[in-house]
Amino acid sequence: MSATSCGRRATQKRETELRIHHCALRLTDEHGLDGWTMDDLAAAADVSRRTLFNYFPGKVDAVLGSTPELPADALEAFHRGGPTGRLVDDLSALAEAILSEKGFDPEVMALGHRILHRTPRLIVIAHERFELVTSELVDHILRREGEDFGEGRARLLVRLLVAVFDVAINQLNDDPGGRPVAEVFDENVRLARDLLA
Could you tell me what percent of the chain has a pLDDT over 70? 93
Task: Convert the pLDDT of each residue in 125-164 to its tens digit.
Answer: 998 998 998 999 999 999 999 999 999 999 999 999 989 9
Average pLDDT over every residue of 3-30: 88
Residue 177's alpha-carbon distances to 106, 162, 181, 195, in angstroms, are 9, 22, 11, 25
Are residues 90 and 83 in contact, defined by beta-carbon separation less than 8 angstroms? yes
Model pLDDT, residue 2: 63
Domains 1-58 and 67-196 share a fold: no
Phi, psi of 113 (to 5 degrees): -60, -45
Q: Which of 90, 97, 114 is nearest to 26 (CA)?
A: 114
Q: Coil, strand, or helix at residue 149?
A: helix
Model pLDDT, residue 64: 93
> How would CATH label the architecture of 1-58?
Orthogonal Bundle (1.10)
pTM: 0.80
Is the preceding peptide bond at 83 cis, omega within 30 degrees of 0?
yes
Orientation angle between helical segments 151-174 and 120-145, nearest 10 degrees: 130
CATH code assigned to 67-196:
1.10.357.10
Q: Give me the residue spans of the domains in the chain.
A: 1-58, 67-196
Task: Convert the pLDDT of each residue in 73-116 to its tens digit.
Answer: 999 999 999 999 999 999 988 888 887 766 567 778 778 888 99
Q: Coil, strand, or helix at residue 69?
A: coil
Question: Average pLDDT over the chain, rounded to whole?
Answer: 89
Q: Which of 105, 71, 77, 104 is nearest to 90 (CA)?
A: 77
